[in-house]
Amino acid sequence: MGRGVVKNWWASSVKIAVFWLICAVIFYCSFQMALRNSNRPTISGSSNSYAEQRSALYAKMAKDLDENGAVFLKQGETSQSLSLSDLFTLKDGIVTPVLKAANPPVRANVLHLSTEYSVPISEAVKKILLPSFDKAIWFQNSSMYHFSMFHASHHKTPVPATEAEIEAEASAVKAITEAICPLHIVLDRVILTSTGVLLGCWQVVSGTDPVTIRAKLKAALPRAPTNQLYNEAMLHTSFARLLGPPNKLPEEGNQISGLEIFHELVNKLNNQIRGLKATVSELWYVEEYDLLALALNGNMKIRKFQLGCSKA
């Protein structure tokens, strides 16, 4: 009988030991898995995720012309809900911007593209488009190539500010730039929108992502409009704006028609400048006294801040 008790006790002890051993192994494996996961970057906030967002956005934008047609040929609205006749006049073959006072002035934060990169782009755009659009086209001033980041006030939702408040905003923006790293970027593609805007769409190779820059600006400018004008991941700049139909078809014109003419010109431009690399190291706080002053060479006041982070 004593042996039976000992045997049962031994069997019970073994079962308990095995049970706790299994628990220990499971705990150890779970702990190691949690530790590894904690060291992984969050996918939703990673650079790869932002790049994927931009790629999807650019692909959608590239379909705009086919889906909506060449609205600009009918003097349709721009992407900022302004009609082309509000922005330009075309008389005797001369395109003149219509400058209208912005009251209150628009306060925009933009990244600036140096003329080291913008001038070659502008020259390529003119070389390809001028033969077909020698009149009905407006070229963006190459010294004003920029990437819109965040508005402290815009024409859709004006936010009046005193001189003191404007100076405080500029100081807050300057403080942010000291923690922003220069952006090394590459031209992903050129697209033509249904409103006639020729856009350069860029990807970020390294540096502070536009999503992060916009988040920092939003935190520093709490009075800014809740509804901003552009997608948080977007990094684009305007090269030109078409204001009418081509006056001369490209050499392949006898074989193509309709929207294909525009696609052919855009394809030529992509073949020439797609993949161009650039470095962005300056952010501007701009008071636009005229609507779209940056795009139309209007009246404005620019405060220029160098991106101060040395880790790019």
pLDDT digits 0-9 by tens, 91-127: 777 888 999 999 999 999 999 999 999 999 999 999 9
Asked whether the predicted pLDDT for residue 167 surpasses 90, the reply is yes
Asked whether the predicted pLDDT for residue 284 surpasses 50, the reply is yes
Q: Which structure tokens are listed for 265? A: 């010109």
Percent residues over pLDDT 70 in the chain: 79
pLDDT digits 0-9 by tens, 8-36: 544 555 455 545 555 454 544 444 443 33
Residue type, 303: R
Correct CATH for 47-306 of 3.90.1140.10, 3.30.450.20, 2.30.30.40, 3.65.10.10:
3.90.1140.10
Question: E strands, 39-144, where?
Answer: 88-91, 94-97, 101-112, 137-139
The torsion angle over the Cα atoms of residues 106, 82, 283 and 221, rounded to 10 degrees, is: 50
Give the per-residue pLDDT at 250: 54
- Phi/psi region, residue 196 (left: phi>0; alpha: psi -120 to 50; beta: rest), is left
In which residue are the tokens 């939703």 written? 44
Q: For the chain, what are the domain ranges?
A: 47-306
Determine the Cα–Cα distance for residues 232 and 149; give it in Å rounded to an integer.
8
User: Can you give the C-alpha Rg of the chain in angstroms?
Assistant: 28
Give the per-residue pLDDT at 20: 52
The total of other beta-carbon atoms located within 10 Å of residue 4's CB is 8
Q: At what angle do helices 210-220 and 163-177 cross, to 10 degrees?
A: 140
Determine the Cα–Cα distance for residues 60 and 57; give it in Å rounded to an integer.
5
Asked whether the predicted pLDDT for residue 83 surpasses 50, the reply is yes
Give the per-residue pLDDT at 33: 43
Give the per-residue pLDDT at 31: 40
DSSP line for 163-204: HHHHHHHHHHHHHHHTTPPPEEEEEEEEEE-TTSEEEEEEEE
The total of other beta-carbon atoms located within 10 Å of residue 138's CB is 24
pLDDT digits 0-9 by tens, 118-137: 999 999 999 999 999 877 89
